[in-house]
């Protein structure tokens, strides 16, 4: 499932390439036909992310809310802007007939030349597969596939959806106030802190990778009840989440190790197996103490931890 940094990158990409332009909205799959008719022809004002949810605001005030869930992704075609100056657009190549697509989902890979090729002669491409929503300008097409949620909301409904979510460091106006909310919500409950960090109503955007890595970096046992975690430790978790989220938004990579020098970091950016301390490393030695990393279920998700470092 895409984590918070990915959704923020999608919001930035859509704002760069769609905002300020009238957009043709369609539903090639047919499951979003009514919503597409409502949005078709409107100008996109901006796209914002809060946690794992995307909110695309149109000139009428209508808001397209999207939650990618486990399988959702956006494919972009045509002119696609790089998210970082001096670098190509990023994404994962699809099937051969989709070679001009930039995919924005859980994993990203460089797509050399995507931002420089311009609009191909066969643009716009024929929709391939189950495209729930297509947003198209004269130069860029964004296709949404496989979301768990996709709906049109009015401004009041959109605000209600945002208000249901916990604080997000990349969307918060006041980081100190947001930290206080998270501290209060975690320390008020007897639920394991590892489960609370995945509760989007407590803190927004943290997925399984960041959950495991944040708790390891804090040397905190995930099974500790929230009310037994000192407030200063919860506050430190929030501060660390803000740092990791900003780094993920900037790079498109969940690089969470704290033991890397500049050279090691460059190597880890290129090698997914070197990016994490415990996540995805069951049975492998902890990078700090050598104890085999544990994997166990917590609320139907895999939890990775070091039983020695995280006492």
Same domain? 47 vs 147: yes
Same domain? 121 vs 201: no
Q: Which residues of the chain have pLDDT under 70?
A: 85-118
Listed residues 117, 144, 162: the one ending a domain: 162
Q: How far is CA 215 from the centre of its chain?
A: 19
The CATH number of residue 141's host domain is: 3.20.190.10
Q: Which helix (H) or strand (E) holds 139?
A: none
Q: Which domain holds residue 25?
A: 4-162
Question: Diameter of the chain by CA atoms?
Answer: 61
Stated pTM of the model: 0.90
Per-residue pLDDT at 123: 85
Same domain? 67 vs 216: no
**Residue whose structure tokens are 């311009």:** 118
Per-residue pLDDT at 2: 84
**DSSP structure string for 62-129:** -EEEEE-TTT-EEEEEES---SSTTS--EE---SGGGTT-EEESS--EE-TTTTTS-S-TTPSPPP-S
- Please give the radius of gyration of the chain, using alpha carbons only, rounded to the nearest integer: 20
Return the DSSP state at 98: G
Among 52, 103, 145, 287, the active-site one is 52
174 domain-assigned: yes
Round to whole Å and give the CA distance between 212 and 210. 6
Same domain? 88 vs 180: no
Burial of 237 (0-12, 13-18, 19+ CB in 10 A): buried
**Catalytic residue list contains 301:** yes
**Catalytic residue list contains 213:** no
70 domain-assigned: yes
Per-residue pLDDT at 128: 83
Per-residue pLDDT at 56: 98
Same domain? 128 vs 114: yes
**Catalytic residue list contains 52:** yes
Q: Residue 94 phi/psi, 5° resolution?
A: -90, -155
Same domain? 9 vs 158: yes
247 domain-assigned: yes
Listed residues 104, 130, 162: the one ending a domain: 162
**3-state DSSP assignment of residue 6:** helix
Same domain? 191 vs 157: no
The full length of the chain comes to 311
109 domain-assigned: yes
232 domain-assigned: yes
93 domain-assigned: yes
310 domain-assigned: no
Same domain? 72 vs 215: no
For residue 128, which of 105, 79, 81, 94 has the smallest C-alpha distance? 94
**Catalytic residue list contains 46:** no
Per-residue pLDDT at 103: 61
- Do 36 and 132 contact (CB within 8 A), yes or no? no
311 domain-assigned: no
Same domain? 183 vs 52: no
Same domain? 183 vs 157: no
The CATH number of residue 222's host domain is: 1.10.8.50
Listed residues 141, 162, 183: the one ending a domain: 162
Among 107, 189, 257, 301, the active-site one is 301
Structural domains of the chain, count? 2
**3-state DSSP assignment of residue 63:** strand
Per-residue pLDDT at 84: 72
Same domain? 143 vs 250: no
Same domain? 216 vs 145: no
| Neighbouring C-beta atoms of residue 93, cutoff 10 Å | 15
């Amino acid at each position: 499932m895409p984590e918070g940094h990915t959704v923020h990158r999608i919001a930035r990409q859509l704002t760069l390439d769609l905002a300020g332009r009238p957009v043709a909205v369609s539903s090639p799959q047919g499951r979003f036909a009514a919503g597409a008719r409502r949005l078709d022809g409107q100008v996109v004002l901006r796209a914002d992310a809060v946690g794992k949810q995307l909110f695309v605001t149109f000139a009428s005030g209508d808001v397209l809310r999207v939650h990618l869930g486990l399988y959702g992704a956006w494919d972009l075609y045509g002119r696609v802007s790089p998210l970082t100056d001096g670098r190509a657009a990023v994404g994962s190549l699809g099937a051969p007939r989709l070679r001009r697509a930039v995919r924005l989902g859980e994993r990203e890979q460089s797509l050399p030349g995507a931002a420089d090729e311009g609009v191909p002669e066969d643009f716009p491409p024929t929709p391939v597969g189950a495209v729930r929503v297509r947003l198209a300008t004269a130069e860029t097409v964004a296709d949404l596939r496989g979301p768990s949620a996709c709906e049109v909301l009015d401004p009041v409904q959109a605000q209600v959806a945002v208000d249901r979510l916990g604080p997000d460091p990349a969307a918060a106006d006041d980081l100190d106030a947001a930290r206080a909310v998270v501290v209060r919500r975690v320390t008020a409950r007897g639920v394991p802190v590892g489960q609370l960090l995945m509760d989007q109503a407590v803190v927004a955007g943290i997925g399984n990778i960041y959950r495991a890595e944040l708790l390891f970096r804090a040397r905190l046992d995930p099974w500790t009840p929230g009310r037994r975690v000192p407030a200063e430790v919860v506050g430190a978790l929030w501060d660390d989440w803000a740092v990791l989220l900003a780094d993920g938004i900037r790079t498109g990579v969940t690089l969470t190790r704290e033991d890397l020098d500049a050279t090691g970091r460059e190597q880890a950016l290129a090698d997914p197996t070197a990016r994490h301390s415990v996540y995805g490393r069951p049975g492998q030695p902890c990078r700090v103490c050598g104890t085999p990393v544990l994997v166990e279920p917590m609320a139907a998700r895999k939890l990775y931890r070091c039983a020695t470092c995280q006492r």
